A and B are shown apart, each in its own frame.
Chain A
């Protein structure tokens, strides 16, 4: 664990890890995850994010930067369920999850559904959104994500 300031927890290496920014008794929680988590890293994330969620106040502004996160194995998914389960119990003023790996995004959508929190999160694939917007602009269409 790297101590940056009292409100920040950072664990892991350049290849895989997480950062949790959570001022005590604050109304904002910023989480970043990257790489593929080993079972030990996943377990640490579950523990740290659960502890962080206990200190925040509602309504909470939540941001999860998962743009460098890879699809997780069993333990990593369990750790993500810890985070999503905490969010399900909090009142959210806004909640955004950013991804660039569509398989990781689909995993997060699937887990968010399992935890009953998916309708309260905006989970975006930034790379795909940009590519779709470029294609649609080329075809003279305006919507970036047509339903």
Chain B
């Protein structure tokens, strides 16, 4: 069982590495690879509403990538934006769920903007591959969401 749990854990960590990759403007392909592309997949983000089905889910990730293409705070930095902490993974047959705390720091023109949200991810193993089918962080505080909104509004087209 430990080996299976390790595989599921690695899939969750790959998704969070893909998230940093996406937020830093390095591409969306690892995020696409981290998910099963099925009608039953679901996601919500620290801002926005539920997306249900792969088309909707993928549209949200692409929009987040578009939004963060306007982010310049890490242009001269070597550290990442965020990571998952306290990850706990439980495997039940070909399904698994993972809980943890996602912590991130953005360097916006108005200052450091930190986020700490509880997260749940659900995975399925299909054809030997563990991938995400459900992603659910807490909603970010309104001030954090407003700061991101201002970043988009003030960005040069």
Contacts and interface: CB of A to CB of B under 8 A. Distances in A.
A73 B59 contact: yes
Contact of B58 (A73, A113, A128): A73
A135 B143 contact: yes
A78 to B, nearest CB: 13
Interface of A: 36, 70-73, 76, 100-107, 109-110, 113-114, 116, 118, 125, 128, 131-132, 135, 145, 147
B49 A107 contact: no
A59 to B, nearest CB: 25
Contacts of B59: 36, 70-73, 76
A106 B150 CA distance: 9
Interface of B: 45, 47-49, 51, 53, 55-56, 58-60, 62-64, 66-67, 142-143, 145-146, 148-150, 152-153, 155, 157
A113 to B, nearest CB: 4
A70 B47 contact: no
Given A71-B60, A101-B49, A135-B143, 15 more contacts: A36-B51, A36-B56, A36-B59, A71-B48, A71-B51, A102-B47, A103-B60, A104-B49, A106-B63, A106-B67, A106-B152, A113-B157, A114-B157, A132-B143, A147-B150
Q: Is the interface of B mostly helix, strand, loop or mixed?
A: helix
A61 B152 CA distance: 25
Contacts, number: 71
Given A101-B48, A113-B155, A106 B142 contact: no
A102 B30 CA distance: 25
A98 to B, nearest CB: 15
A147 B143 CA distance: 11
A107 B66 CA distance: 8
B146 A71 contact: no
Contacts of B55: 36, 73
Given A73-B58, A102-B47, A110-B152, A132 B146 contact: yes
